[in-house]
Amino acid sequence: MSNVPEKHVLAEYVRILARGKNASRSMTFEEAEFTMSHMLAGDFHPEQLGAILMLMRVKEESPEELAGFATAINKSWPDNVPFDLVWPSYAGKRRQPFWCLLSALLLNSMGYRILFHGSLAHTEGRMYLHEVFAELGLPAIKMADIESAPSLCYLPCDELNPQLQRWLSLKAILGVRSPINTILKTLAPQGVASVQGVFHPNYSVTHVGGAALTGGNMLVMKGEGGEFEVNPERAVKASWHLNGESGNLVIENLKSHYEDKPEGIGTDLLRQFWRGELDSEYARLAVINTAALALVTIRRSADIDTFIAECTEAWNNRDRSRL
């Protein structure tokens, strides 16, 4: 009787990435989708998971790999997801509060339905959006309730698949983030636009390329702390893929430093600013310009000046008692 172990179905897919300096290559869209489908189903060995994630980390994800992996995970969404915008949040904040949550609240007050999804805390010293939602008394939902969910809510990523949160937590073991962090930022149901924040601007090309392959409508930018949030002290360079076309837009920074920039990440700052108890030009520009960029994806138009004007008017007329 032979003692040769049976070859696992993913062995050839690890081999694609691991054949050495000259023979290795990136996966095609189909290969990436196949690989992720098996991993989501639990059909993998831990050695294969570690090899795939770290080999991709070293070479960096291609648009085809990003799109293929995301397509496999996006099959977890139900057919009817009644939202105008999906807002991934995976980086967490360590310098500034989640001003982008106020941007979403502003858009929600304008009649748009916003769904956040994100992870449990996975890096020490950062506040994560699920903590902010809990402290502010905002709703977190389960996937089973998504069709009747409130118009502004938060979905934990393990509702898409429990593996996802476990894979994010591998940073504590591997010492570095993995492609899972990148992939999760691109997840959205078919037909629902998304916004995506990145740490490194060069990843924007990969995100837009992935959206071009899947036909998604999205906008990506280097955001404050890696979240989708404008830092008014820097020029915003955003890239988008909308209605089958790709492009870029810029919001120039008015100042390189704001004296009224708040300190800390606490939710009290969010409450105070929304209620008008705190005055900060930095926070106002962060909230309004972030909301305007999100409108680019919702409206499928890069008319940023019009959207900044609309969001400014909505901010001035907001219901201050809502938070």
CATH classification at residue 22: 1.20.970.10
In a domain, 3, yes or no: no
User: Of 33, 48, 74, which residue is a domain's last?
Assistant: 74
On whether both 90 and 67 belong to a single domain, the answer is no
Nearest-Å Rg of the Cα atoms of the chain is 20
CATH number at residue 224: 3.40.1030.10
On whether both 23 and 169 belong to a single domain, the answer is no
To which residue do tokens 């992870």 refer? 119
On whether both 235 and 145 belong to a single domain, the answer is yes
Predicted pLDDT of residue 202: 86
**Residues 25, 30, 35: CA angle, nearest 5 degrees:** 80
Q: What is the pLDDT of residues 154-207, one digit of tens each?
A: 999 999 999 999 999 998 899 988 999 999 999 999 999 999 999 888 889 999
On whether both 241 and 221 belong to a single domain, the answer is yes
In a domain, 180, yes or no: yes
In a domain, 6, yes or no: no
Task: Show the tokens assigned to 4.
Answer: 């040769």
On whether both 184 and 230 belong to a single domain, the answer is yes
> If you average pLDDT over residues 248-256, what whole number do you get?
94
Confidence of residue 254 (pLDDT cuts 50, 70, 90): confident
> Which domain range does residue 317 map to?
85-322
φ, ψ for residue 124, nearest 5 deg:
-65, 145
pLDDT value at 292 more than 80: yes
On whether both 44 and 174 belong to a single domain, the answer is no
In a domain, 168, yes or no: yes
CA-wise closest residue to 17 among 48, 56, 43: 56
User: Of 74, 93, 112, which residue is a domain's last?
Assistant: 74
Q: How many domains does the chain have?
A: 2
> If you average pLDDT over residues 123-146, what whole number do you get?
94
Amino acid (one-letter) located at 253: N
In a domain, 190, yes or no: yes
Q: What is the pLDDT of residues 52-111, one digit of tens each?
A: 999 999 999 999 999 999 999 999 999 999 999 999 999 999 999 999 999 999 999 999
On whether both 19 and 151 belong to a single domain, the answer is no
Contacts by 73-78, CB closer than 8 A, 24 or more apart: 73/36, 73/40, 73/160, 73/161, 73/164, 73/183, 73/187, 74/187, 74/188, 74/189, 74/190, 75/37, 76/40, 76/143, 76/160, 76/161, 77/160, 77/189, 77/190, 78/143, 78/146, 78/147, 78/189
On whether both 138 and 41 belong to a single domain, the answer is no
Q: What is the pLDDT of residues 203-219, one digit of tens each?
A: 899 999 999 999 999 99
In a domain, 5, yes or no: no
On whether both 178 and 311 belong to a single domain, the answer is yes
In a domain, 48, yes or no: yes
In the chain, the percentage of residues whose pLDDT exceeds 90 is: 90
Predicted pLDDT of residue 123: 73
pLDDT value at 293 more than 70: yes
Predicted pLDDT of residue 221: 97
pLDDT value at 5 more than 90: no
In a domain, 156, yes or no: yes
On whether both 150 and 275 belong to a single domain, the answer is yes
User: Of 51, 74, 97, which residue is a domain's last?
Assistant: 74
Predicted pLDDT of residue 2: 62
On whether both 218 and 132 belong to a single domain, the answer is yes
On whether both 137 and 269 belong to a single domain, the answer is yes
